[in-house]
Amino acid sequence: MTGQNSSNVNKYFEEIYEKTKRSVTLFLISRCKSFDDVNDVLQEVYMEYFRILQKKGMDYVRDEESFLISLCKKKLSSYYSFWDRIADRTSIDASAGSELNEQSVYEEESSVEDDFYREEMLHDVKEILKRQPDCVQKIFYLYYSMELSVTEISGLLHMKPQTVKNRLFRTRKLIRDSLR
């Protein structure tokens, strides 16, 4: 592959990645057995897509989103069949599962002490979420990071809206009580 063609493939891939990342991530969240697996499978899907673009060219795929969803399905089946064969599954990256948006809530300049307490609180929230079931982690992530409504989350996770609300509110109460 020539340098110019490689550069074009890289730019094209970045455009498609930005355009499809949200929908592919939502699909994986709804289908993964464990919330901790979402990032691993997402990375595998996009790496495979990039290899296909390099090998077959940019014109090979007509509908990128549906192609990526079909790649997701294939990667999910191979990913879980691999882990099902291994009895002692150990977590590769325990912190990756319930990452929260770490942007500062306040745009004003704050002292080092305020930053420290904010970081400490964020760490505590992550630890609380890690102890929750996967469905609660998914709900929390979809609601706060992906900014989906309760109705959208219930449709995606095949739950009643009231169940999503209850789990969200109970988790928020648990976090509030734990941080006091």
Q: Which residue has the tokens 């994986």?
A: 28
Indicate if the alpha-carbon torsion angle 75, 80, 86, 88 is positive or negative.
positive
Looking at 1-5, 87-91, 154-158, 175-179, which range is the least confident one?
87-91
Architecture of domain 3-85: Orthogonal Bundle (1.10)
Could you count the other beta carbons within 10 Å of the beta carbon of residue 32?
21
Domain locations in the chain as residue ranges: 3-85, 112-179
Supply 148's token pair: 């989906």
Domain 112-179 bears CATH identifier 1.10.3720.10: no
In the chain, the percentage of residues whose pLDDT exceeds 70 is 77
| pTM (two decimals) | 0.61
Looking at 8-12, 125-129, 156-160, which range is the least confident one?
125-129
What counts of helices (H) and strands (E) characterise the chain? 7, 0
Q: What is the pLDDT of residue 99?
A: 40
CA angle 131, 37, 65 (to 5 degrees): 135
CA angle 34, 35, 40 (to 5 degrees): 90
Same fold, 3-85 and 112-179: no
Q: What is the pLDDT of residue 103?
A: 41
Distance CA 27, CA 46 (A): 14
